Structure 1
């Protein structure tokens, strides 16, 4: 071989350094865009075909064909039941019944309000969902920011107090500890150190959960712009969730 065709060690190191620098810049750019909520990268980290995937729905999805969802490898569903102390989801009863009929494992969730008493919110959920959840998933409570709450967050002491009241009433009614849905930043502000005994459902939509959350979790909501067949609402997207590979879906079921 012609010696002129060989790459000297020095030139090789230069090429390697340039490639490494370009790769680092690309990775940092993607990371920055993800952190700024400009792009979604979670699907690169999720093997949907070999995972336990679920959805969460509300009246935004309007008519939902549960059987059609099952055909697309959806194995569980959380259905919005209530919000605050006096709001019920218009589609809850229909979705609740249809999920049961389709034998799609289902649970109900409550959207927690920082502006209502925990007691009244628990009463709203119990009166709407009913008293028997045998065979269903754990009841879930959704704790996140809404409106201007991220810019003007409620006091930790107030949130912890009312959420504890809510959770204790739900546990007394159903005999199980509810599942808590939240975001990593909300978890850090209100939940960490106070509700460690509860199973967690964590939303991290723009970056892999492991990048910004290091505690135990059961469900990761990894995408809020999923697209599936089987619903007719004005909202064309649907939330997608994945079960922790080290957990069992049956661990979230009420027996």
Structure 2
């Protein structure tokens, strides 16, 4: 039975935590070049309110669809934000420069977001907290100074426990848990509840779309965006 459920989840047939998200009315997606050349008119006609776009990674990588996605997603009426994939091996100041030269300062945009998760060799060998926290301090400070708002931190629960517990309490958190409702933090702002969603309008090598919810209703969402 467990194997069958795992297969159904992998196929996008079953979303384990669907019952937990049904009361969250403000919904959205996050996309990158893996979703191809997006038809934003079609995508935005579905019941989503916001979208996060991958912008940069490390010191030199820019998502090849970012500029197009940023303009067309905004024109479609979605509330748009951009995120940076954090690299443990690259100086934080260089990562900040990469994001800043890629992502415009735009009124009404979601906060700049730093994606902190384990990848590659770091899946088994997690970088020390003493190394990562000063890097995050530098990156978050630079982004806040440039964009004029507290950056958001996206993370898995394991990365949250490793680096965020007891720190960055004023920064919004976008947490990932594709099985259950998040256990940390208690006051998350966005929740990525599945990486196996489907939306019309994508045509990339990745057939699925990450889906998310906001922690409150429409009024709270508008206040968060304007704040």
TM-score by length of 1: 0.80
Contact kept in structure 2, 1:52 and 1:74, CA below 8 Å: yes
Q: Are 1:76 and 2:17 an aligned pair?
A: no
Q: Any gaps of 5 or more consecutive residues in structure 2?
A: none
Residue 36 of structure 2 is matched in structure 1 by 62
Contact kept in structure 2, 1:77 and 1:104, CA below 8 Å: yes
Q: Are 1:43 and 2:18 an aligned pair?
A: yes
Residue 169 of structure 2 is matched in structure 1 by 196
Equivalent residue for 1:147, pick from 87, 97, 120 = 120
In terms of mean alpha carbon deviation, does 59-68 or 89-98 score higher?
59-68
The structure with the larger Rg is 1
Q: Larger relative contact order (C-alpha < 8 A, sep ≥ 6)?
A: 2
In terms of mean alpha carbon deviation, does 240-249 or 189-198 score higher?
240-249
TM-score by length of 2: 0.90
CA deviations on 1:220-253 (whole Å, 9 max, x unpaired) are 0000000111111011000000111368222432
Q: How many residues align?
A: 219
Q: Any gaps of 5 or more consecutive residues in structure 1?
A: 1-28
How large is the Cα RMSD of the aligned pairs?
A: 2.0
The equivalences for 1:1-255 within 5 A come to: 40-47=15-22, 51-130=25-104, 132-209=105-182, 212-245=183-216, 248-254=220-226
Contact kept in structure 1, 2:20 and 2:180, CA below 8 Å: no
SS, match of residue 188 in structure 2: coil
| C-alpha separation in 1, matches of 2:86 and 2:209 | 20
